[in-house]
């Protein structure tokens, strides 16, 4: 029998030495999905004047961080992200901030008298 000092392919490492997946870490698949989401939505979000949305993916579940103007924007963004292949779920951590008027609120024009 020839000893090479290498483990045979059929030999298993002791459980204490086996590498176990860490559920708290992102996988390569998660990072790829996050990059795809960012690339896919970057232009659309810019056109809609929505800035600062961040995507974090863990085990296929997308967590959205950022600020939107209203619930409609939030619901639309969540709905669009759910449709992307590879997304298993969406957790919206989006803050809704209503836009404020600059100065006084607009006033209806006075009727013109003749």
CATH of region 25-96: 3.30.1340.30
The model carries a pTM of 0.63
What is the per-residue pLDDT across 56-98, written as a single tens digit (0 to 9) for each? 999 999 999 999 999 999 999 999 999 999 999 999 999 998 7
Identify the pLDDT of residue 43. Answer: 82
Identify the pLDDT of residue 52. Answer: 83
Question: Domain residues of the chain, as ranges?
Answer: 25-96
Residue ranges of the alpha helices (H) in 1-113? Answer: 28-47, 71-82
Which two three-digit tokens encode residue 39? 């690339």
pLDDT band of 24, cuts 50, 70, 90 = low
């Amino acid at each position: 029998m020839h000893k090479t000092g290498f483990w045979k392919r059929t030999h298993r490492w002791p459980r204490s030495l086996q590498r176990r997946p860490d559920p708290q870490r992102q996988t390569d698949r998660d990072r790829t999905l996050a990059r795809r989401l960012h690339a896919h939505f970057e232009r659309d979000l810019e056109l809609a004047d929505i800035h600062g949305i961040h995507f974090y993916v863990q085990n296929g579940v997308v967590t959205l961080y950022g600020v939107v103007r209203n619930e409609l924007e939030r619901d639309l963004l969540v709905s669009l992200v759910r449709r992307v292949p590879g997304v298993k779920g969406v957790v919206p951590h989006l803050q809704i901030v209503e836009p404020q008027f600059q100065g006084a609120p607009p006033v209806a024009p006075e009727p013109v008298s003749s």
